[in-house]
Amino acid sequence: MERTILHVDLNNFFASVECKYRPELKGGFMAVCGSVEDRHGIVLAKNQKAKLMGVKTGMTIREAEKLCPGIVFVEAHHDRYEKWSKKVKKIYSEYTDRVESFGIDEAWMDVTESLSLFGSGKTIADKIRERVKKEFDLTVSVGVSFNKVFAKLGSDLKKPDATTVITRLNYKTLVWNLPVGELLFVGRSTVSKLNRIGINTIGDLAKADVQYLVKYLGKWGESLWIYANGKDESPVLKENESDGIKSVGNSITCYRDLTDEEDVKIMFSSLCDSVSDRVRKYHVGKASALSISIRDGNLTWYTRQAKLDRPSVLADDFLNKAMELFRLNFRWESSIRSLGVSVFDFITEEQISINTKSEEYDKKLRLQQTVGDLKQKYGNDIMRRGIAYKDKRLTKEGEGHGSSLPNSHGEPKI
């Protein structure tokens, strides 16, 4: 049976949630920022009216004010977003048990087995949009397709509060004319590389010689060719399901620009702690490689990756490699707005030679598990790294939601 996949994206989610607590903001221009008081914050989300004025995620407060005089800034409250995200995802779970989160405001749903109960994919998508609006006064855009990549594209095509269906009959018309940067996991760096060889649209990528792409981009080139041709077969994972997970990561746009190595270490330490927790939670084995992503003040993305010194699930091992990669590759020609960490190339215990097992590693793992249990029971504030207390807000932001990717490891997309 042809799969029916939905990608559901809550529109302007942070801004929409804040308006629930301050209804007077709903009719005006508003944005959610990391820090309002010091005026150096970054726009994390904006409402539809501000978006139409050109305000974008990642802008500074001052940049947003120039484009949209009179805009009101609200400080982010991640606990609120977590609360409303869970409420909405309960609706999704009423239609299928295959709901895979992609960040706090997006999710994939495999409704193939639910069609006989609830109707077509479009019918289910429209029901979900209607219920979310009626029950929570929030809106979602939904893409419906036969794979995850095209479903994600569909949810991006019409916003806010719309359903877009991409089928095997219409995908070349709807998808292939789009800029190649619209494809999932294609970031600015890859766009530049593809543009240099004449690939400007998703259709150009789909028609390119796959062997040439592999030579030019490595294995990642084949993955992108598969995505562009609608051949993605990655499954929608159930909650906590590890089968097929190829990478686990976390990234954050910081509430203020990072200006020195100590800032970076605070952020990376928090991100690595959360990634380590998820790797152990998903039981995917030990990671043998790690990548970092950096977005500087000029909105340029850098991604770098390397093998870990040993297969590991330890946050300290992730942090050490992340800092090593950072020091080798970043020259401080600009401040930093966003950081990310992902680990991949997982191997199981059975694949690890007994000669590489370490008593010291096992001791550190037991300690980390104990700390994790304490945090789960009493909250993250019960125990933190010493460096975390130098900027608690940075640390707490890094503890937010990450993602697990069922396909090849890719670079971030702005």
State the catalytic residues: 106
Please, are residues 345 and 263 in contact by the beta-carbon 8 Å criterion?
no
From CA 162, how far away is CA 347, in angstroms rounded?
Answer: 41
Please, are residues 129 and 136 in contact by the beta-carbon 8 Å criterion?
no
Strand partners, 292: 304, 341
Q: What share of the chain is helix, strand, coil (3-state, %, to 5)?
A: 45, 20, 30
How many Å from the N-terminal Cα to the C-terminal Cα in the chain? 35
Label residue 116 exposed, middle or buried (CB < 10 Å: 0-12, 13-18, 19+): exposed
| Token output for 302 | 């850098």
Contacts of 363 (CB under 8 A, 6+ apart): none
The residue type of 77 is: H
Neighbours of 9 (CB within 10 A): 21
The residue type of 133 is: K
Contacts of 370 (CB under 8 A, 6+ apart): none
From CA 140, how far away is CA 155, in angstroms rounded?
Answer: 9
Residue 50: DSSP 8-state:
H
The residue type of 359 is: E
Residue 169: DSSP 8-state:
T
| Token output for 400 | 């937010």
From CA 279, how far away is CA 315, in angstroms rounded?
Answer: 10
